[in-house]
Structure 1
Amino acid sequence: MAEAEKSVQGLERRLGHLGDVNMLAIEQYDTAVERIAGLVEDGKLLRDRRDQLVSIAEQLEDERKTRLMAVFDHVNKNFSRVYGILQPYGSGKLRMENPKNPFDGGLEMDCVPPGKSKNTRRSQLSGGEKSMAALALIFAIQDYEPGPFYYLDEVDQNLDPFNAERIATLCRMRSQRAQFMMVTLRKVSLILADHHIGITHAGDGRSRLITDFDRAAALEMSEEFEAERKAQAEAEAERAEMPELPDPEDMPRAPEPLGAPKSLGGLAERAGVEVTEGDAHEEIEAEGGTIESLRERTEDWTEDIVERDAVEQAPDDPEPEPEAEQKEAE
């Protein structure tokens, strides 16, 4: 009997050491399990959405590179052809600085004017030779994607008469498909123009305008015009045979943005904060839309929950005993 009483006393002491029993433990456990399940579901949803966005980004990057390289190859062929016209017995080509990752590098022009070494760098070209290379690039791009008009401001200023005539002749040939407006002081360019607009100084501080000045006779373009037309036809045929580029309408679309996570909504409810899905989305965008801002807000709400739980679990003030009240009254 004594041993039984001793065992009971030992159990009572152990129960006393455990302290007060939390009568809400089961309810709090169920709430925690539900919240963990919500966090797991939100985590899976976010991982799936991340994988989807990464896949879309990779597809768009591949299509962007495909389109760039297809256009580059075509413009490069046009550049080599046009540069050969502007600089007979010369050669020119375009080159990517970073062929593996073309968007991480620029574009270089390797131009070798007639009579110069193949190792000649672009920085070693004269001003006129650089002008010829730049104009060849403009015409090469025009052959791929023609524009309605072109404005050239004294592009022949640094050119010798031979090259100035080449530029004027090429502009004249291409004027059948586009309008060229050129500011020039070179006679050869003026001779090949259809119309002239002259600006002259009258000596009184004002400018005079001379317009509608037609040429007396149309110039014969001879064999060069026919050769240029043939080259243009070949370029158009090559473009028609190019592989079909991806249709922009078939490109993947980014999914609709996700709303506030369900687990965050449960946290707001426990913190006593009323937040609708639209309000939560607007708040996240206002704070920068970053994970860091979302984490900070979650920590603030967690602190509010801890404080509320501490207040709810605090024992009420004990009522004063009758003897103490009687002594205070005396």
Structure 2
Amino acid sequence: MLHRCNEQLQQFSHVNKKALDQYVNFTEQREELQKRQAELDAGDEKIKELISVLDQRKDESIERTFKGVARHFREVFSELVQGGHGHLVMMKKKDGEPADDDDEDGPREADMEGRVEKYIGVSFTGQGETQSMKQLSGGQKTVVALTLIFAIQRCDPAPFYLFDEIDAALDPQYRTAVGNMIRRLADTSNTQFITTTFRPELVKVADQIYGVTHKNRVSRVNVVSRDDALDFIEHDQSYNAE
């Protein structure tokens, strides 16, 4: 009987005798991993909630800022273009059509799918017709661009602005309107405007005028009088006309 039992036991010689200890050890590791997974899942849920809240706040901030800029855009456009009306429209991915532009200054409640990426651009609407910037002439594009800059300036003024021949494509009445607006903003908002120009309208409203000359591959900057600057511009225009 003992011999038979020993023979039967030999059939189980390949059995892992540490299996019980390993089972207990692996069970403890599994429980620890499950606990860690639960903590990570909870953290992931909190992060998703935070992202959702931040996305909603960004949407609200964008729309609040946009409405402020759009309100000033209408005001500035009517000042630059006598009898003209223009406003900005926010374009969104959700429906591909312009969002309603109401006059409420407060933010609209963003939906759950709200993301900053849903905004795809801004269109300009003038005289009741929405137009693409590609449809505008060079002067019209300049007027719209300057209107947007001045609208942003009224929302969040910068210490100074540097304009490089912004009046080159403008008609005389628009150059006069832009010059008057720059003069008014410089007097009332403690903002400095530095412009380069070959037109008389900006020169007439400038506090300080500098003439830049180039000779022997060297540029020179000198203070000039308003009369000298206007004479130079008149001569330059006459030369170009010939």
Give the SS at the match of 1:90: coil
Q: Which residue of 1 aligns with 2:61?
A: 67
Matched, 1:199 2:212: yes
- Say whether the 8 Å CA contact 1:111–1:122 is kept in structure 2: no
> What does the per-residue CA deviation read over 1:56-81, in whole Å, with 9 as the maximum and x for residues that have no partner?
11111111111111101111111111
Q: 2-side partners of 1:125 and 1:20: how far apart?
A: 87
Cα separation, partners in 2 of 1:103 and 1:112, compared to 1, 3 Å? same
Matched, 1:87 2:81: yes
Q: Structure 1 residue aligned with 2:13, among 3, 19, 23?
A: 19
- Say whether the 8 Å CA contact 1:112–1:118 is kept in structure 2: yes
For structure 1, the residue ranges without an aligned partner over 5 or more in a row are 216-330
- Which has the larger share of helix? 1
Structure number with larger C-alpha Rg? 1
Q: 2-side partners of 1:99 and 1:77: how far apart?
A: 23
Q: Which residue of 1 aligns with 2:26?
A: 32
Q: Which residue of 2 aligns with 1:110?
A: 124
Cα separation, partners in 2 of 1:60 and 1:137, compared to 1, 3 Å? same
- Say whether the 8 Å CA contact 1:79–1:93 is kept in structure 2: yes
**Counterpart code for 1:196:** I
For structure 2, the residue ranges without an aligned partner over 5 or more in a row are 95-114, 228-242
Q: Which residue of 1 aligns with 2:174?
A: 163
Cα separation, partners in 2 of 1:129 and 1:121, compared to 1, 3 Å? same
Q: Structure 1 residue aligned with 2:202, among 165, 189, 194?
A: 189
> What does the per-residue CA deviation read over 1:27-65, in whole Å, with 9 as the maximum and x for residues that have no partner?
122111111111111111111111121111111111111
TM-score, scaled to structure 1: 0.56
Q: Which residue of 1 aligns with 2:111?
A: none
Q: Which residue of 2 aligns with 1:128?
A: 139
- Say whether the 8 Å CA contact 2:123–2:132 is kept in structure 1: no
Q: Which residue of 2 aligns with 1:209?
A: 221
What is the Cα deviation at residue 19 of structure 1? 3.3
- Which has the larger share of strand? 2
**Counterpart code for 1:68:** I
- Say whether the 8 Å CA contact 1:96–1:102 is kept in structure 2: no
TM-score, scaled to structure 2: 0.75
Q: Which residue of 2 aligns with 1:223?
A: none
Alignment RMSD = 2.5
- Say whether the 8 Å CA contact 1:94–1:107 is kept in structure 2: no
Q: 2-side partners of 1:196 and 1:214: how far apart?
A: 7
Q: Which residue of 1 aligns with 2:42?
A: 48
- Say whether the 8 Å CA contact 2:70–2:88 is kept in structure 1: yes
Give the SS at the match of 1:19: coil
**Counterpart code for 2:198:** L
Give the SS at the match of 1:139: helix
What is the Cα deviation at residue 21 of structure 1? 4.5
**Counterpart code for 2:124:** D
Cα separation, partners in 2 of 1:211 and 1:65, compared to 1, 3 Å? same
What is the Cα deviation at residue 122 of structure 1? 2.5
Give the SS at the match of 1:210: strand
- Say whether the 8 Å CA contact 2:58–2:116 is kept in structure 1: no
Q: 1-side partners of 2:163 and 2:123: how far apart?
A: 21
